[in-house]
A and B are shown apart, each in its own frame.
Chain A
Amino acid sequence: MADKILVVGEVAEGKLRNVSFEAIAAAKEIAQDGEIVGVLLGEQVENLAGDLITHGADRVTIVEHDKLKYYTPDGFTQALMAVIEKENPDGIVLGHTSIGKDLAPRIATKLDAGLVSDITAVEVVGENVVYTRPIYSGKAFEKKIITSETFMVTVRPNNIPALEKDESRTGDVERLEVEIKDLRTIVKEVVKKKSEGVDLSEAKVVVAGGRGVKSAEGFKLLQELADELGGAVGASRGACDAGYCDYALQIGQTGKVVTPDLYIACGISGAIQHVAGMSNSKVIVAINKDPEANIFKIADYGIVGDLFEVVPLLIEEIKKLKASVS
Chain B
Amino acid sequence: MNIFVLLKSTFDTEEKIVIQDGRIDDEGVEWIINPYDEYAVEEAIQIRDEHGGEVTVVTVGNEDSEKQLRQALAMGADKAVLINIEEDVEEQDQYTTARVLAEYLKDQDFDLILAGNLAIDNASGQVGPRVAELLDIPYITTITKLTIDGDKVTAVRDAEGDEEHIEASLPLLVTAQQGLNEPRYPSLPGIMKAKKKPLDELELDDLDLDEEDVEAKTKRIEVFLPPEKEAGRILQGDLKEQVQELVQLLHKEAKVI
Q: Footprint of B on A, CB under 8 Å?
A: 70-71, 73-74, 97-99, 101-106, 108-110, 112-118, 128, 130, 134-148, 184-194, 199-201, 204-205, 229, 246-250, 253-255, 257, 261-262, 272-273, 276, 279-280, 282-285, 291, 296-305, 309-310, 313-314, 317-318, 320-321
Contact = CB atoms under 8 A, between A and B. Distances in A.
A148 B217 contact: yes
Q: Which 4 A-B pairs rank lowest in CB-CB distance, beginning with the nearest?
A: A114-B217, A184-B138, A300-B232, A117-B124
A186 B162 contact: no
Contacts of B235: 301-303
B126 A115 contact: yes
Contacts of A188: 154, 165-167
B13 A253 contact: yes
Interface stretch (B16-24, B70-78, B192-200): B16-24
B242 interface: yes
Given A185-B167, A188-B167, A272-B14, A101 B125 contact: yes
Contacts of B234: 291, 296, 302-304
A147 B251 contact: no
A190 B120 contact: no
B63 interface: no
B161 to A, nearest CB: 4
A215 to B, nearest CB: 20
B216 interface: yes
B167 A142 contact: no
A105 B256 contact: no
A269 to B, nearest CB: 14
A140 B168 CA distance: 38
12 contacts: A108-B126, A109-B129, A128-B221, A140-B224, A187-B165, A193-B162, A246-B161, A273-B13, A300-B232, A301-B233, A310-B243, A314-B246
B159 to A, nearest CB: 4
A185 B24 CA distance: 39
A137 B123 contact: yes
Contacts of B240: 313
A102 B141 contact: yes
A85 to B, nearest CB: 17
B16 A272 contact: yes
Interface of chain B, helix or strand or loop or mixed?
mixed
A320 B246 CA distance: 13
B229 A298 contact: yes
Nearest to A125: B221
Nearest to B155: A185
Contact of A190 (B122, B164, B177): B164
Contact of B217 (A147, A284, A321): A147
Nearest to A186: B167
A200 B13 contact: no
A101 B141 contact: yes
Contact of B178 (A73, A255, A321): A255
Which of B132, B217, B225 has the largest count of A CB atoms less than 10 A from its CB? B217
B239 A285 contact: no
Nearest to A188: B165
Interface stretch (B1-9, B46-54, B92-100, B104-112): B92-100
A299 B35 CA distance: 28
A128 B221 CA distance: 11
A246 B16 CA distance: 27
Given A98-B159, A262-B256, A298-B229, 17 more contacts: A105-B98, A115-B94, A140-B24, A141-B223, A143-B220, A143-B223, A144-B221, A146-B217, A184-B168, A188-B167, A193-B162, A205-B257, A283-B256, A301-B233, A310-B243, A318-B247, A318-B257
Contacts of A184: 138, 168-169
B219 A145 contact: yes
Contacts of B123: 117-118, 134-135, 137, 257
A272 B229 CA distance: 13
Interface in B225-256: 225-226, 229, 231-235, 239-240, 242-244, 246-247, 249-251, 254, 256
A154 to B, nearest CB: 9
A219 B13 CA distance: 26
A273 B14 CA distance: 7
Contacts of A140: 17, 19, 24, 223-226
Contacts of B14: 272-273
A187 B168 CA distance: 9
A321 B251 contact: yes
B224 to A, nearest CB: 6
B140 interface: yes
